[in-house]
Structure 1
Amino acid sequence: MELDLETISEIKRKAVEFLFEFGPRILGALIVFIIGKIVIGFLVKALHKVFEKYNIDPSLSSFLKSFASAILYVLLLITVASTLGIEMTSFLAILGAAGLAIGLALQGSLSNFAGGVLILIFKPFKVGDTIEAQGTLGAVEKIDILYTKVRNFDNKVVTLPNGVLANNSITNLSEKPTRRVEMAVGVAYGTDLKKTRQVILDTLKKDERIHAEPEPVVKFTSFGDSSLDLSVRCWADAGDLWPVYWDNMEALKEAFEANDIEIPFPQRDVNHYYPEGIPAAKVKEDSEGSQV
């Protein structure tokens, strides 16, 4: 289909009208976009310097920079659209409604996200720490923005939501360099407690992993059913906690045996009565007397 001169002239006229009407808007939008992009780059770099200054976790720093950059680009897009003369009221209403629906649908994930941010900022624990939380005791293997992975001592990996961790108590067993070792021992009734205490202290002094300060203590705690109960407390490096406990429990047993300190065990006296109520020992005594 061939175009006649009149049609071509009309197209040229409308093109010129469009150019004069929308050309300045397009040029303005392009300038806004270029300037906005430069400003966003400057702000992201400034944010990076702030994170470095306050020693923010690298994984959190990277996520927050990407998140901030995405928000800034959304704002830039809205500004550019507004510069082009696009009506933004309806668009923003739809965007707000969609954001509300997404927020309600992802309420749990948003809670975990906020918890992850708080954990990475305030650092109640870090990768490699041993923690106890939500009934789980183990070493932290990974801290994600939504979940934390903990490997317990039988090599099972437990995934805990960050929202739950951030809003409940956490016991960090690795934050302090030293830990108190507690051992409970019992000796037989009639045992000399002063001698026993000295034997225990002498045994602990042989272990170089046990700190001299604070010095070990041995205290009598209770009268047990079959034993006099003692509490033994000493301090060691956090990494030596269980080796010190296991080795010294065995060393104390050997020291007690070497010093004739009796290690008690539960005992019961049993008397057997016949149905008539006569003790068995009495029946045996009477029968032996009658034989004589």
Structure 2
Amino acid sequence: TTDRNVEQVTTDSGSNAFEVAFNATPFTVTNEFNPIDQRTYNHATSTTIFDSLGNSHELTQFYVKEPSPGNGVGQSQWSIYLQIDGELVGGTDQTPYTALFDQDGQLESINGDPNGELIITDWVPKDPSGDPNGADGPPANPGDVVSPIPEPATSSAFVVNLANTTQYGAAFGVNDQQQNGYTTGRLSGLDVSDQGVIFARYTNGQSKSLGQVALAAFNNTDGLSPVGDTTWVETFESGQPVIGAPDTGTLGSIKASSVEDSNVDLSAELVNLIIAQRNYQANAKTIETSDAVTQTIINLR
């Protein structure tokens, strides 16, 4: 809406004094977008994002319904403003992004991009006092930034993907919202997969692959030489090792946090124990008999 300040004029028959006074007064825009005035936008939604130091920031997206382009048939238009910690970014302090939807409510484009991606290249991460906090800042050449942004990122540039945004005759709602940043975390544990991949778990919910355990196979395992503490070394008889990833080829898999079951046959060992006990008893009886014979011979004297 617009207002005009029109001075009181007196018109005579056939005079155009009123028209002259009306046209001479400039328009004053009264509904200009203001993020702190909810009357100047239709909807807003916020997301927590993180800078390169792991500090959290609040990204807010504002949506303003605009008059439909052309004759208003078959297309709808919205303006999008982006704000981080109270400061407009993405150039929306000057010009908002323009989103167009077709007659079926599907997103046609944002600023002419059919992928619906907003590449933000002017964000300067700041601390609560409003000063730069030392994290990565805007890229040196904003025009060279493309989506997807390679990892690890070397600047504060990021992408807002609105490709799945729709406009239907329903109340505004956020059905899915994801971001791939994270805060600072400390190592909380390690996990090992069946393929021997070692994963580090952190307190911020992230995990990272640190490496993979390798296994070795020998043509003749009986030819390995023991060196103590269940350690064996390669010999000429064992042949050279064939090294590979677990659970590939003839190599076995790895079971983390597990203890290997005993490979002893208890039944066979109990039988052997009984046999050994009987042999001991027989030997003891032989010694006892020999001792008795010796004692008898001594007594004959």
Bin the TM-score by the shorter chain: under 0.3
The structure richer in strand per residue is 2
Higher relative contact order (CA 8 A, sep 6+): 1
Give the number of the structure whose alpha-carbon radius of gyration is greater: 2
TM-score, normalization by structure 1: 0.28
Q: TM-score, normalised by structure 2?
A: 0.27
* Structure number with higher helix proportion: 1
